[in-house]
Amino acid sequence: MSTKTYRKLIAKQFNQEFQSAVEIVKVPMTKPAAGQLLIQNKFAGINSGFDTLLCQGKVPYVNLTPPFDLGVEAVGEVAAVGENIQAFQVGDAVVTTARGGGYREYQVIDANLAVKVREATPEVLTLMPTGISALVALEKVGEMKSNEVVLVTAAAGGTGHLAVQLAKLADNHVIGICGSEKKAGLLKELGCDRIINYRTENLDRVLKREYPNGINLVFDCVGKEVFDVCLENLAIRGRLVVVGFISEYGKNLEQVTRPRMYEQLFWKAASVRGFLMPLYQEYAAEARDRLLKLFYSGKLRVAVDPTQFNGIESIPTAVKYLLEGKNCGKVVVRF
């Protein structure tokens, strides 16, 4: 290992804007201790929602004070191994999902936290943890069945495009909501039964007209009015899974005054359920193995946004790009 230093992105202070909270720092290369691996990151997944909330100090289960490391999932290659490592060797491709391990050129990590994969590609990276989140949210929280109507918001995004396909693989009628014709094109290729571009069609009107019996399962990534419309159009015993509320990240939460939600839920025996992947870790390994099998057998397609983000310095731009809703598929940064 000839490199003496490497770069990483840290949050130097809390700030409403991710771009104003972060800075690139150069740190000395560390050697892996016994039981550890040194990994050269090749790609990291961009999670603008989480990144932004983290830099605002608004992730309740994370108790961090700046400076702290950023980024979560990365795929890379083992650059050095510590003592007592049998399962890995230099050159192995691995995925890691440790908080703080993503937005950096190298990381040292306990070997039991690395997952060996066939190759260090952005597609494999997208399956973990983005695909895992989609699968666990649909199955464990949403109690996904077959022959139901499933609605996915931000359906052409990193998480959404996988949720769409998983709901189709389970033999459901899938409605995909998106904000551009290009995204609608991707959803068509993925087999969505009804694509609603909310910029050209009114979501509420379409749902009321075409789905008078309502939606059985909603996978909502967006929040605000989209959440309201989905809630109102739930079927009897419908389930709405709150996967995220990206329309409010980076802003102060909108205050709304309206009748309490139970009035809408009670008469349909419907429910709203929150999903947070860190609270469902016990399902991650099984979900990961199933997703990889589906991917390698050609049953699951991974869409990676084609815009190139290269190097640590491109991360703030990539975070902004996703938050502005410009992406189609998963946003990744290449090191």
> How many of the other CB atoms lie within 10 Å of CB of 78?
21
102 in contact with ligand NAP (CB under 6 A) = no
288 in contact with ligand NAP (CB under 6 A) = no
57 in contact with ligand NAP (CB under 6 A) = no
User: How many positions of this chain bind ligand NAP (CB under 6 A)?
Assistant: 28
Amino acid at 186: L
Handedness of CA 220, 224, 229, 231 (dihedral sign): positive
Place of tokens 């998480």: 159
Sort residue 71 into left (φ over 0), alpha (ψ -120 to 50) or beta: left
Q: How many Å apart are CA 122 and CA 198, to the nearest integer?
A: 29
Work out which of 101, 102, 131, 244 binds ligand NAP, going by CB under 6 A. Answer: 244
Min CB(41)–ligand NAP separation in Å: 18
Residue 253 structure tokens: 């939460």
Q: How many Å apart are CA 243 and CA 217, to the nearest integer?
A: 12
Stretch that binds ligand NAP, among 5-13, 31-39, 203-211, 323-331 (CB under 6 A): 323-331
Tell me if the bond preceding 122 is cis, omega within 30° of 0. Answer: no
157 in contact with ligand NAP (CB under 6 A) = yes
Min CB(164)–ligand NAP separation in Å: 11
Stretch that binds ligand NAP, among 34-42, 90-98, 173-181, 210-218 (CB under 6 A): 173-181
Residue 32 structure tokens: 């892996």
243 in contact with ligand NAP (CB under 6 A) = yes
Question: Which residues sit opposite 333 in a β-bridge?
Answer: 44
275 in contact with ligand NAP (CB under 6 A) = yes
Work out which of 156, 163, 203, 230 binds ligand NAP, going by CB under 6 A. Answer: 156
216 in contact with ligand NAP (CB under 6 A) = no
Question: Which residues sit opposite 178 in a β-bridge?
Answer: 197
Work out which of 81, 163, 218, 246 binds ligand NAP, going by CB under 6 A. Answer: 246
Stretch that binds ligand NAP, among 14-22, 116-124, 178-186, 281-289 (CB under 6 A): 178-186
Work out which of 166, 272, 277, 333 binds ligand NAP, going by CB under 6 A. Answer: 277
DSSP string, 152-171: ESSTTBHHHHHHHHHHHHTT
47 in contact with ligand NAP (CB under 6 A) = yes
Work out which of 76, 101, 158, 316 binds ligand NAP, going by CB under 6 A. Answer: 158
52 in contact with ligand NAP (CB under 6 A) = no
DSSP string, 105-156: SEEEEEGGGEEEES---HHHHHIIIIIHHHHHIIIIIS---SSSEEEESSTT
Give the distance between the most distant pair of CA atoms in the chain: 67
Work out which of 18, 22, 42, 49 binds ligand NAP, going by CB under 6 A. Answer: 49
CA angle 201/307/331 to nearest 5° reads 75
327 in contact with ligand NAP (CB under 6 A) = yes
Residue 160 structure tokens: 């959404």
154 in contact with ligand NAP (CB under 6 A) = yes
214 in contact with ligand NAP (CB under 6 A) = no
Q: How many Å apart are CA 257 and CA 259, to the nearest integer?
A: 7
Work out which of 131, 179, 214, 316 binds ligand NAP, going by CB under 6 A. Answer: 179
316 in contact with ligand NAP (CB under 6 A) = no
**Interface ranges with ligand NAP (CB under 6 A):** 47, 49-50, 130, 133, 154, 156-160, 178-180, 183, 221-222, 243-244, 246-247, 275-277, 322-323, 325, 327
